[in-house]
Amino acid sequence: MPVSMLDINEIRRILPHRYPMLLVDRILELEAERIVGIKNVTADEPFFSGHFPDFPVMPGVLIVEAMAQTAGVLVLKSIPERDSKLVLLVAIEYAKFRRPVVPGDQLRIEMTVLKRKASVAKMAGTATVDGVVVAEAQVMCKLEDKDQAQISPE
């Protein structure tokens, strides 16, 4: 049975991201192999002050990040020990951007599992605004123990 309507507080209990990098506001649908999330794009997003001052456009890499975070909710939701895990983005393929995303837009992000193993998930997704596809991509995420995910100083 699909779970619906995870609010921001429930998302924060699943994902480790915080402002300004938490890019998923709500989960509308959550199934074993599919998830639908929402990102409300507001005029006060920190990236708009420099991208671009006279024509604010959400950076494509942040749209893909929102897609990856939505995928991360799906991956982490079913793992009981998720507090000790991170979902790391390890690959992006076939990313395409169809039109600019601007303040006032609501991104509807739908991600579907293509392949899933114990610690790796490959998912394909689309981001739409008002039913129009604005971006699409495939992302691969790897589940890692937090204590193993140390950043090398080299």
DSSP symbols for 63-101: HHHHHHHHHHHHHHHT-TTGGGEEEEEEEEEEEEE-S--
**Range 113-137 average pLDDT:** 97
Q: What are phi and psi of 49, to 5 degrees?
A: -65, -25
For residue 153, being part of any structural domain is answered with: no
Res 83: pLDDT: 87
Q: What pLDDT was estimated at residue 79?
A: 87
Is 118 a domain residue? yes
Residue 49 lies in a domain: yes
Domain assignment present for 16 = yes
Would you state the pLDDT for residue 9?
97
Residue 76 tokens, joined: 């982490």
Residue ranges making up the domain that contains 25: 8-146
Confidence of residue 2 (pLDDT cuts 50, 70, 90): low
Per the structure, the count of domains in the chain is 1
- 47 in a domain, yes or no? yes
What's the CATH code of the domain at 24? 3.10.129.10
- Position 57 in a domain: yes
Percent of all residues in the chain with a pLDDT value above 70, rounded to a whole number: 94
The pLDDT mean for the chain works out to 93
pTM, two decimal places: 0.93
pLDDT value at 150 more than 90:
no
**What's residue 106's pLDDT?**
98
The catalytic site residues sit at 51
pLDDT band at 12; cut points 50, 70, 90: very high
Output b/e per residue, 21-53; b: 16+ Cβ within 10 A.
Answer: ebbbbbbeebeeeebbbebebeeebeebeeeee
For residue 1, being part of any structural domain is answered with no
